[in-house]
Amino acid sequence: MVSIQDPIYRSQYQAENSPLIQQEPIVIIVANQHQRGSSWYASVFLVVNAALGAGLLNFPDAYQQAGGVLVAVVIQAIMLVFVVFAILILAYCSDINQTATYQDVVLSVCGKNAQRFAAFMLLLYCFGTCITFLIIIGDQWEEFFLTVVRDFYCKDNPWFLSRTSTICITSVILILPLCFPKRIDFLKYASIIGVIGILYVVHLVTIKYFRPHPAPGPIKIKPTQWEDVFLVIPTICFSYQCHVSIIPIYSCMARRNIREFSKTVAVAMFLCVLNYTCTAAFGYLTFGDNITSDILLSYEPKLEVLIAVALIAVKTYTTYPILLFCGRAAFNSLWTDIFKMTPDMIEATERRRRIVSTLIWFILTLALAVFIPNIGIVIQILGAFAAVFIFIFPGMCVLAVVMSRVDQAGEWTRKLRCIAAFACVFIILGAFIFGLTLSQSIMKDKGGVKADKSKYTC
């Protein structure tokens, strides 16, 4: 009989002792169970906040690469079906052992080795996303200086206002102190400003399209090459990837069941589709081939645009620590597993390990952000990794559950065969998207990156 107080450790304990991976009976006394959870409509905002992010700025450029609005919208609609199914699959699998994190879902259903792979992929994904956030910070400060102190910035070119300096200085002052605490739930109130900022950007892009503006560049109605349709997939995967945080959100619901959660997912995805599609379509139709990888760089530096710049910067400053926290947790999971650390050793070295890993993470992402030219490159690569969380791991979970049902029933029924085939489609499609988009992004990077035709230049 085991007493587990902390819900995260309880989730991991239940996952490790899942009946799918071992058959010994376990009795668990759970403390502090009677906690008030969130309603399904309150959870909508949590899912929207997790999904709407930096991918919004790159969506119009992705439409241009894919061959126009119609082609990109069709691809987006097809992908959205798999995105929603993956969310519901993860929620269903988490109910098997009442797990509370993505890694624990994989652990409880697929075993320890799969959990290690999930933690490793999560580590890479969070690391790349943090780089994207720092690149966005550099873009926003560059826009600000070119508008407010243009002559001084362009003629004197002071070192302390350079892109490298602004990324480093502001990140050290505003981000690094937020990364050390053991808990970061105090950022939930600041995240409200981030959601407001995203909604403001959508409103700005839409209004700008309907107001008088210069003639756009050439507008595509079909892809240059048929394989270009896949270029929008990394951005879609990156933008709709809320699967890593979807399990914690689901576990906090007052009425934790698939029916209630389905309402949350339906409303949240509707809001995300509306915001992403409006921004991408109106942004691309406003500028055509002259669109930049960051949509805000395409506009004239006026007050309303600077407000959007400031709001996006605020969201970025408050979101980076959350991604670092998730990545650090994945790193700690791998570190303690590799060195076979006991619970006492983990507790004794927690503070030192947290500080050292935070500093190393922050310095590496900062260095890479300085030398990577724009977010388009990073999002292409991250989209490939996001496909793993959306397709491969959910497919593996479904297949593992089916195999356990077959072992219990002693035979393959027609229903189980159909579900297994569906899981295999998920895994194969995820592997195809991962390999294709990753190779495309590498080839695109080697071929040279098109310089943004931004108004924010001297």
Q: How many domains does the chain have?
A: 1
Domain annotation covers residue 453: no
DSSP classification of residue 68: S
Could you give the CA distance from residue 407 to residue 396 in angstroms, rounded to a whole number? 17
Q: How many CB atoms lie within 10 A of CB 210?
A: 9
The answer as to whether 54 is a domain residue is: yes
* Domain range for 286: 38-446
C-alpha 331, offset from chain centre: 17
CB 239 within 8 A of CB 385: no
Q: Look-up: residue for tokens 């320890």?
A: 112
pLDDT value for 243:
85
pLDDT digits (tens, 9 = 90+) for 356-375: 999 999 999 999 888 876 66
Distance of CA 203 to the CA centre of its chain: 22
- Among residues 223, 8, 222, which one has the least CA distance to residue 101? 8
Of the candidates 101, 411, 432, which has an alpha carbon nearest to the alpha carbon of residue 252? 101
In the block, tokens 């010994």 appear at 24
Provide the CATH number for the domain around residue 193: 1.20.1740.10
Does any domain span residue 8?
A: no
Whether 189 maps to a domain, the answer reads: yes
Average pLDDT over residues 438-458: 62
Name the least confident of 255-264, 326-335, 352-361: 326-335
Residue 421 has which token pair? Answer: 């085939």
Which pLDDT does position 453 carry in this prediction?
A: 52
Q: Per the domain annotation, does 402 fall within a domain?
A: yes
pLDDT at 334: 85
More confident residue, 215 or 204: 204
3-class DSSP assignment, residue 253 = strand
Tokens coding 350: 């927690």
154 part of a folded domain: yes
**pLDDT of 420 strictly over 50:** yes
DSSP string for 369-416: HHH---HHHHHHHHHHHHHIIIIIHHHHHHHHHHHHHHHHHSS--HHH
- Do 268 and 33 meet the contact criterion of CB atoms below 8 Å apart? no
CA distance 96 to 80: 25
User: For residues 387 and 437, is the Cβ–Cβ distance under 8 A?
Assistant: yes
Domain membership of residue 14 (yes or no) is: no
> Model confidence over 21-66: pLDDT tens digits?
443 333 333 334 445 667 777 788 778 777 777 678 888 888 888 8
Q: Which amino acid, residue 61?
A: D
pLDDT at position 359 is 94
26 lies in a domain?
A: no
Contacts of 339 (CB under 8 A, 6+ apart): none
Residue 419 buriedness (CB in 10 A; 0-12 / 13-18 / 19+): middle
